[in-house]
Amino acid sequence: MSKTYDVIVVGVGGMGAAACHQLARRGQRVLGLEKFAIGHAMGSSHGLTRILRLAYFEGSAYVPLVQRARDLWIETGKRIGEPLFFETGALEIAGETSDHIERSRQSCLDHGLAHTLLDRDAVERRYPAFRLPKDSIALFQPESGFVASERAILAHVGLALADSAEIRGQEPLLDWEPTAEGGVRVRTGRGTYEAGRLVLSPGAWIGKIVPALAPVTSVVRQSLGWFAPLQPELLAMDRFPAFTLDVDEGGFYGFPLWGHPGFKLGSPHWGGDPFDPDTPTREPAPAHEAVLRRCLERYIPAAAGTTLGLKACLYTMTPDEHFIIDTLPDHPQVIVASPCSGHGYKFASAVGEVLADLATAGRSRFDLSLFSLGRLAERRERDGFGNSA
């Protein structure tokens, strides 16, 4: 006999863990199913830290959601007795001919965000670890910083368990189907479960769980590196911000020293390295290390010591690089929260709240039109959106 819940969440990473927490907090009977161990490094949420930028060049419409996420990261940190959000400020750096800075600045103006525009000399005076191209300009956002991403997942799961959620690690989904009563039935290798609502937040596996989403998603492998700092005093949290850096070699991002002896540097969108998420290993591409090292040697020499570690990270992309947060057209009891196109983790706390709202009330106070499946209408009409038969 199937065990019954109010909501089943498939994928207990950044988004799914937050959804389990928010649902359990509301008294919902919640089952969270995770393919791997809770807190694993096979997907998109590991690597210790994620930048939280309030200014958003990807679209001003994201700002209310990231503001809510920031508040929730702070609130959750207080609940567990340790901070999850660290306000170091965030610096976005690009060439003066790029529209990157202007779009971020416009999001600040649209939403009244504190910000400062800086030229190259001003950046290097403030943060002498940088050696920037002559035409660089930057936008500094004092209320931004970073989230302790791995710790935050464990915090959300712990809070969900404390509120009587049932979380099952190492239990992959085999398939799901709608029930005659308007709910869902989920089957794993360990059992069959039923619920009124199903939240699918499996990251890179979304195209396998909902095959009709495969044509509008792609999975790419990126790499994160940690490097021995040559001048650690210049990279400390009180002297160095979280940052993004848009230069000829590509787009990079990094953090002050925290949680690891090495300086963390990543690069989100160079080249697109297609990757099957069912590949059992997560070895970074050798070329990625070389690109990261060249960036450090040229632009942040204070961090260009020996390589201490590399990790691969999976980004699941849509054609326009916006998220998908919506119900399936043929199955309104099924809510999809993936992919997040490589820039979604910072929103996880707020997305968890959104998913709980959708699962319990059928609506969110946020405008989710940017993330709708409807914008992918041409592919939807061609392929439809069914279940994972």
| Structural domain spans, the chain | 3-45+150-214+321-383, 121-133+218-317
pLDDT, residue 210, reads: 95
Number of H helices, E strands in the chain: 9, 19
In the block, tokens 């609506």 appear at 363
pLDDT of residue 387: 47
pLDDT at 19 over 90: yes
Instruction: Please answer whether residues 26 and 360 qualify as being in contact, where contact means their C-beta atoms are separated by less than 8 angstroms.
Output: yes
DSSP 163: T
- Residue 137's nearest CA partner among 99, 110, 108 is 99
In this predicted structure, the answer to whether residue 139 has a pLDDT above a threshold of 50 is yes
Residues in the chain: 389
Buried b (16+ CB within 10 A) or exposed e, 40-77: bebbbbbbbbbbbbbbbbbebbbbebbebbbebbeebb
* Residues that are catalytic: 46, 49-50, 264, 269, 313, 346
- In this prediction, residue 286 carries a pLDDT of 84
Token digits of residue 83: 């901070």
At residue 358, what are phi and psi to the nearest 5 degrees?
-65, -40
The angle formed by the CA atoms of residues 315, 318 and 323, to the nearest 5 degrees, is 85
Residues β-bridged to residue 266:
224, 253
Per-residue pLDDT band for 267 (boundaries 50, 70, 90) equals: confident
pLDDT at 388: 41
Residue 147 and residue 233: Cα distance in Å, rounded?
Answer: 22
**Who's near 285: CB < 8 A, 6+ residues apart?**
221, 223, 273, 312
With a cut of 70, say whether residue 270 has pLDDT above it. no
Amino acid at 264: K
DSSP state of 68: H
Q: So what's the pLDDT on residue 385?
A: 59
Which string of DSSP letters, residue by residue, matches 262-304?
A: SEEEE-SSSS--B--TT-S--PPPHHHHHHHHHHHHHH-GGG-
Q: Which DSSP state fits 225?
A: E
Q: What is the tens place of the pLDDT at every residue in 340-384?
A: 999 999 999 999 999 999 999 999 999 999 999 999 866 556 556
In tens, the pLDDT along 71-93 reads 999 999 999 999 999 999 999 99
Stretch 220-249: mean pLDDT: 96
The alpha-helical segments, DSSP class H, found in 34-112 are: 63-80, 100-111
Region 121-133+218-317: CATH code: 3.30.9.10
Measured in degrees and rounded to the nearest 5, phi and psi for residue 135 equal -90, 15
Looking at 3.30.830.10, 3.50.50.60, 3.40.50.720, 3.60.20.10, the CATH number of the domain 3-45+150-214+321-383 comes to 3.50.50.60
Burial class of residue 365 (count of CB atoms within 10 Å of its CB; 0-12, 13-18, 19+): exposed
Q: Are strands 85-86 and 145-148 parallel, antiparallel or unpaired?
A: antiparallel
Q: Does residue 131 have a pLDDT over 50? A: yes
Is 95 within 8 Å of 139 (Cβ atoms)?
no
